[in-house]
């Protein structure tokens, strides 16, 4: 019996690189411009090509956010909390991916990147717990001198443009996105220009969670190109300037004044590792007060 020798040739396997896309209206479009730009790690090594969003992409995101606002703001606070907690569960399941992306983006060791990711997930859970409690803290009955009583309750502002922090690719991102949607607003997020991969990956988590499409929309690209049309857009109700430098922040604040947007200015030093307060939730809430007569004045009431 003859022996047969099988020769197995070994080839170097080509890496399968991830294709990053925008997240708008629950879908994953490429930029309508067809443009991309290179993203590198902290040492300058190439990581990926990501979409370079245009003004048209920004306008599409506004349309999606406005369409989603009615359903999201009308959902019960308890239901919003459930959905946010579900997102935290899914982030936990992708922990290793985010550790890798944060380590590459911020030049951290694996252990330090892991601590950042854990803090970000915990923060998402923290905001999920506030969805059905914030109204009790900032609303309530008010003393009135007269035959009336009134009740004040918070309501979401509407569509909020969020400039994600440039120096904190994931913890800072969660710290500015979660409070906006926890209170019933919808968001258009401009990812960190130099480190957009965690934000674009967040879109994949949101799409496979219970979050309705359009509640969060994620754009990548040049912040100075995308932010001005959002600041001037008449259907954007508020803007968070966390990721803007002093020059851009001033430009955007002037543009936002055209339709009296709420503007959350960047802080001189934003330490995203500190325990958050309620400021980022209350910044995008309006207060509705309902007046009601007492005694013999009847049952009709009014509000403003």
- The 10s digit of each residue's pLDDT in 172-199 is 999 999 999 999 999 999 999 999 999 9
Looking at domain 36-303, which of 3.40.190.10, 3.30.420.40, 3.40.605.10, 3.40.50.720 is its CATH number? 3.40.605.10
Q: Where would I find the H helices in 196-274?
A: 197-207, 223-232, 246-256
Assess contact for 252 and 151: CB atoms under 8 A: no
Q: How far apart are the first and last CA of the chain?
A: 97
Using one digit for the tens of pLDDT, what is the confidence trace for 47-88?
999 999 999 999 999 999 999 999 999 999 999 999 999 999
Of residues 19 and 81, more confidence is placed in 81
Number of continuous H segments (helices) and E segments (strands) in the chain: 10, 11
Q: How far apart are CA 19 and CA 133, in angstroms?
A: 39
Percentages of the chain per state (helix, strand, coil), in multiples of 5: 40, 20, 40
pTM, two decimals, is 0.88
Q: Residue 32's closest CA among 66, 4, 12, 60?
A: 60
Buried b (16+ CB within 10 A) or exposed e, 15-48: eeeeebbbbbbbebebbeeeebeebebeeeeebb
Q: Is the pLDDT of residue 304 over 70?
A: no
Using one digit for the tens of pLDDT, what is the confidence trace for 220-237?
999 999 999 999 999 999
Confidence (pLDDT) at 271: 82
Q: Is the pLDDT of residue 215 over 70?
A: yes
């Amino acid at each position: 019996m003859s022996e047969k020798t099988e020769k197995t040739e070994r080839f170097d396997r080509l890496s399968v690189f991830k294709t990053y896309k925008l997240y708008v209206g629950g879908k994953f479009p490429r930029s309508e411009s067809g443009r991309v730009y290179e993203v590198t790690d902290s040492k300058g090594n190439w990581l990926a090509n990501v979409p370079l969003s245009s003004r048209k992409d920004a306008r599409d995101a506004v349309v999606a956010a406005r369409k989603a606002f009615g359903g999201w703001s009308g959902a019960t606070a308890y239901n919003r909390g459930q959905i946010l907690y579900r997102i935290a569960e899914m982030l936990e399941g992708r922990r290793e991916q985010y550790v890798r992306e944060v380590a590459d983006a911020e030049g951290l060791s694996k252990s330090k990147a892991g601590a950042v990711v854990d803090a970000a997930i915990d923060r998402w859970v923290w905001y999920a717990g506030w969805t059905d409690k914030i109204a009790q803290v900032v609303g309530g009955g008010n003393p009135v001198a007269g035959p009336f009583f009134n009740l004040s309750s918070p309501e979401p502002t509407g569509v909020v443009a969020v400039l994600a922090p440039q120096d904190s690719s994931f913890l800072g991102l969660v710290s500015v996105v979660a409070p906006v949607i926890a209170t019933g607003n919808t968001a258009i997020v401009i990812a960190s220009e130099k480190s957009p991969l965690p934000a674009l990956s967040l879109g994949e988590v949101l799409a496979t969670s219970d979050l309705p499409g359009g509640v969060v929309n994620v754009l990548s690209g040049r912040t100075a190109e995308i932010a001005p049309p959002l600041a001037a857009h008449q259907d954007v109700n508020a803007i968070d300037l966390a990721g803007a430098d002093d020059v851009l922040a001033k430009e955007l604040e002037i543009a936002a004044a055209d339709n009296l947007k709420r503007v959350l200015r960047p802080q001189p030093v934003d330490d995203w590792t500190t325990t958050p307060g309620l400021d980022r939730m209350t910044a995008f809430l309006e207060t509705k007060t309902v007046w009601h007569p007492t005694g013999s004045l009847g049952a009709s009431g009014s509000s403003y």
